[in-house]
A and B are shown apart, each in its own frame.
Chain A
Amino acid sequence: MAEAADNHTKPPAEGKAERPMFVLLVAGVGFFLLSFVAMGVLPWLSVIGQEPPEEFVNPYVDENGELNAIGRGREIYIAEGCWHCHSQFVRPVANEEFRYGPRSQAWEAMHDVPQLYGTRRIGPDLSREAGRRSDDWHLAHLWNPRTTVPGSIMPKYSWLFEQQGDTWIPTEKATDLVAYLQYLGIHFKEEVRKQVWPDRVTVSGAPEATELQATRGAELFQHYCSGCHGTAGDGKGLAIDFLKPGASDLTKRYLPREEVFRILFMGSEGSAMPSFAELTEKDLWALSQYVNALGEPALKPALAPAKASEAVLAQGRELYRTQCQACHGENGVVPAAMSKSFAGGPAPKHFRDRLYHPDEVRRVLKEGRPGSAMVAFPNLKPAEVDALIAYMASLFDREQYKVKE
C-alpha cells in the first residue's frame, strides 16, 4: 500500500511544462539534440576548416589499411589507459610551451579516433615526445620507470617484455608502443629538438666547491641519476640491460665540473642521457661537483701517461691522426659538424674536456661503444693503445680546468 507520506510528492497545479511528453521531447530529446549540434556538429565543421600545413596521411595504417607499428602502439596506449595520466595537448598558458613545446593544433589529431587529449596529468604531457628521448630510454622506462627516473610513480609494464636468462627483451608490443611515443608531435620534432637539445654551449664560472654542495649533489645524484648510472656511479644501474650506449661509468673518467654542467644542461642527444636543464643552476653546480668528485680516483692514473716520452707521444699523435681525428677532432676538439648526434648515437667526445682512466680506454677500444658511432679497434697492439692513452691524456686542457698533478 502506498504510504500516506507520498502525498507530499504531488505537484500543486496542472501546467503545460509538466506534461510528461513535453518534458520528454523538449528537455530529453530536444535539449540533447541542441547540445549535440552546438557542442558537436558546429565545432566539428569549424575544425574541418583547419587544414594541416602539408599533406598529412593517416600515420597509423600502412598502404593496405592494416595497423602499422605506430597504430599498434596507439592501441596498447589505449588499452593500458596511459592517457588517464598523460595528456596530449599543450596549452598556451601556465608555462606549458616552455616546458613541453609548441602549443597543440587541431589538425595534429585529425587522424585520432577516438582522440586522446586526456583530462588529467600525473606524469608529463606526451604530445611533444618525438625526438625528446632515445628509444632505449623509453624501453628501459616502460620495463621499469624507476630505471630512468628513480622517483617515478609510474607503473611498470614488464608484461611488454620477455625474460631471457638474466636479461629482458622487449616484445613487439613494447617496440610498437615506443614507435607511437616517438611519433607523438612528429610535426614539431625539429622545434622541440632545438628546445630540448641546444647547440653545444660553453660553460665557465664553476663556483667554489663546498661541503654543502657535495651533500646536495649526492642527494640529487641518487634522485635523478642513480637509475642509469647506479647508486655508486659506476654505470651499473637498473637500466643496464636496456641502454645502448650504456650509462657512463663515472668512476672511470674525470669530468671537470664545467663539462658535467654542460652535459647536464644539454643532455647527450642520441643516448639515453636527457637534459636536466629544468634543475636550478645551483643544483646543477652541486650535481657537477658530486660527479666530478666521483671521477677523482681516475684522475691520477689518467694523468700519468701524459708524462710519457716524446717518442711514445709522437706515436700516439700519429695513431690519433689516422684513427680518431676524423670524429674526435684535432687537439681533442670535435669539429662543429660532428658535435651533434649522428649515426643514431651521441656526438663524439672532446678529449680536451675530459680524461679517461686507462682501463676504460682499453675497454672501449676493445669493445667499442655499441649504440654509438664508436667502433672497436681490436687490432691495436697494447703498445699502440698505451701510446694513444698517453696522447689523449696530453690533449686534456689542464690549465683551463686547473687540475694539479
Chain B
Amino acid sequence: MPETEPKDAPAKPVRAPTDQLGLVKFHIVAAIVWLGIGMLGGTLMGYRLTSPEAAEFLGDSAALSFGRIRMFHTHSVIFGWLTNGFFAFAYYAIPRLVGRDLFLPKLAKIFAPLTQVALVLGGGAILMGHAQAVEHTEAPWWADAAFAVCFVATLVSCVGTILLSGVRNLYVSAWYLILGFIFTALNFVMANSIVAFVAPGAAGAALSGLWIHNAVGLWVTPMGAAIIYYLLPVVLKKPIASHKLSLLGFWTLAFFYPLGGSHHYFYSPVPWWLQMLAVPLTFTLIFVVYSVVYNFFATMRGKWSQLASDIPLRFLAFGLFNYIVTCTQGPFHALLSVQQVVHFTDWVVAHAHLALFGVFSWWLYAFIYWIWPRITGRGYNRKLAEAHFWVTLIAFWVLYYIPDTIAGLMQGFFWLTTLPLQDSLEAAMPFWMTRAISGVFLMLSMVFLVWNLFFVKNGKVGLEVSNG
C-alpha cells in the first residue's frame, strides 16, 4: 500500500527507536494472567448470588468469602489486567510516538516484575483480611505504597521519554499518556493517604468520589483513548479524520471529567451544592464521547469492509460500539430522576462492566492481537481468534450486560415499593444466573486467547502486517 502522508506533517523525520519488546511482552503476559484470575473471582462471586444454596459454595473459607473476592476482583482487573496492559502499550507506543529510545529502560525492567510483586502482596492481603475501605484500592497502605513506587517508576520512564525527546508537537495519544500517568499518580497517592487516613465522613466520600471516578476517567479512559488513537490510524494506514476534534475531546475530558466525581454519591450527605454541580459537569462529558466517536466513524469511512478480516480492528470497533452505549448511559445517570431508581443497583454494575470490560478490555485485546506477532514473530490462528471474539461478544452482551441491566431496573423499581427487600433479590436471581454463566463463557474465551498466543503452531494471521 502506498504511503499517504498527512499533508501538514512536520518536516523533521522521526528517528526509529529501539523497541522494548521484552518489556512489552512481560506486561502483556502479566496482564493476561491477572485477567484470568480476576475473571475467576468474578465468576465465583456471580455464581454465589444465584441462590441461597450457591451462597454457601466454598462458604467456610474466609479467604474466598464473597466480600474479600469482591475486592480482589476489582484489584485484579483494574491494576493487574488493565494497568499492566496499559504499561505494555506505553512502553511500545511512546518511543515510537516521539522517536526516542525509552528513558531508563533498566528502571522499567527492574520495576516490571516488582509491580507484579506489589500486586500479589496487595491481592493476598485483601484475601487474608487486611483490606482497607477505599473503593477500588482496597489493598492495605503498605501494598499501595509499593505499587505507587512501581507506578511512579513506570511514569518516569514513560513520561521522561516524551519530555526528553524534544518533540514539541505531540500526537494525541501522547497527550493522553501524559495526562493518564501524571493525574493518576497524584490521584492514587491522594486516595491512599487522604481518603484512607484523613478525610472523615462526607468529606471522605467527596474525595472517594474523586478517586473512583478518575481511576476510570483519568487512568483507564485516557489510556484507552491513547490505544485507539494509536491503533486506528496504524491499522487502517490513514491518519485520523480530525486532529482538532481530538484536541477538543482531550481538553474537555481533562477539565470536566474530574469535576463530576461526586455523582457517585448523589443524595448522600455530601454537600448538596457539590452534587448539583456534578449534574451539568457530568452531562458535559457527552461531548467528549462524541468527539471520539465522530473521529472513529470519520476515519473508518471507506474501510468498514476491513472489519471482516481484521481481528484487532474488530475489537476496536466493537469496543467503540460499547463505548457509545456506556458513555451515553453515563451522563444520563447524572440526571436525578434516573439516579433515584438506578443508584445502588445492578444497573451500575452492568454499566461499569460495559466500560471496563466491553470498551477498555476489548481495546487491549485489539492491542494484544496486533502487537503479539510483532513481539514474537508468531502469527495466530484465525479460527481461535474468531472464537474468542464471538464468544466474548455474545456471552457479554446476551448473558451479562442485558440481563444485569434488567436486574438493576427491577431492583430499582422494587425498592420504590414497600415490598420486602428480599423480593428484589429473588427477582434478580434468574438474571444473576445468566451473569454467572456468562462468566464461564468469558473464561472459555480466555482459553481461546491464551491457546492462540502461546500454544498455536504455524499461525498465519498477523505476520503479513508486521512484514508490510
Contact = CB atoms under 8 A, between A and B. Distances in A.
Contacts of A152: 52, 55, 422
Q: For this complex, into which size category does the number of interface residues on chain B fall?
A: 35 or more
Interface in A60-106: 78-85, 87, 89, 91-96, 98-99, 104-106
A180 to B, nearest CB: 13
Contacts, number: 331
Interface in B241-266: 243, 247, 250-251, 254-255, 258-259, 261-262, 264-266
A60 to B, nearest CB: 11
Contacts of A14: 10, 168-169
Nearest to A278: B420
Given A18-B168, A278-B418, A23 B68 contact: no
A351 to B, nearest CB: 32
Interface in A196-213: none
A1 interface: yes
Contact of B178 (A8, A11, A23, A122): A23
Interface stretch (A31-39, A321-329, A355-363, A367-375): A31-39
Interface string B315-354: 0000000000000000000000000110111001100000
B182 interface: yes
Contacts of B261: 35, 39
A108 interface: yes
B200 A24 contact: no
A198 B208 CA distance: 38
A3 to B, nearest CB: 8
Interface stretch (A41-49, A250-258, A381-389): A41-49
A155 B426 CA distance: 16
A46 B273 contact: yes
A156 interface: yes
A19 B139 CA distance: 36
B48 to A, nearest CB: 7
B238 to A, nearest CB: 6
A120 B45 CA distance: 15
A12 to B, nearest CB: 4
B179 A122 contact: no
B14 A119 contact: no
A282 interface: no
Most chain B CB neighbours (cut-off 10 Å) among A9, A18, A24, A119: A9
Listed residue (A12, A19, A39, A120) with the most chain B CB atoms within 10 angstroms of its CB: A39
A27 B251 contact: yes
B210 A89 contact: no
A232 interface: no
B210 A39 contact: yes
A43 to B, nearest CB: 4
B249 to A, nearest CB: 12
Contacts of B170: 11, 18-20, 23
Nearest to B421: A124
B67 A151 contact: no
A157 B422 CA distance: 20
Interface string B99-142: 10000000000000000000000000000011111110010000
Interface in B292-322: none
A203 B50 CA distance: 38
A112 interface: yes
A28 B181 contact: yes
Contacts of A123: 421
A344 B247 CA distance: 67
21 contacts: A2-B99, A4-B3, A9-B234, A11-B243, A12-B8, A28-B181, A28-B186, A39-B258, A40-B199, A47-B270, A47-B271, A104-B269, A108-B201, A112-B200, A113-B204, A114-B195, A115-B133, A146-B55, A153-B51, A155-B65, A278-B419
Given A11-B243, A91-B266, 8 more contacts: A3-B468, A12-B8, A17-B251, A19-B170, A28-B181, A39-B206, A87-B344, A99-B415
Interface of B: 3, 5-10, 14, 16-17, 48-52, 54-56, 59-60, 62, 65-68, 70-71, 96-97, 99, 129-135, 138, 159, 162-163, 167-175, 178-179, 181-183, 186-187, 190, 194-210, 212, 214, 229-230, 233-234, 236-239, 243, 247, 250-251, 254-255, 258-259, 261-262, 264-271, 273-274, 277, 340-341, 343-345, 348-349, 412, 415-422, 425-426, 429, 466, 468
Q: State the 9 A-B residue pairs at the shortest beta-carbon distance, nearest first.
A: A28-B182, A109-B201, A81-B67, A35-B258, A2-B16, A91-B267, A8-B233, A115-B204, A106-B269
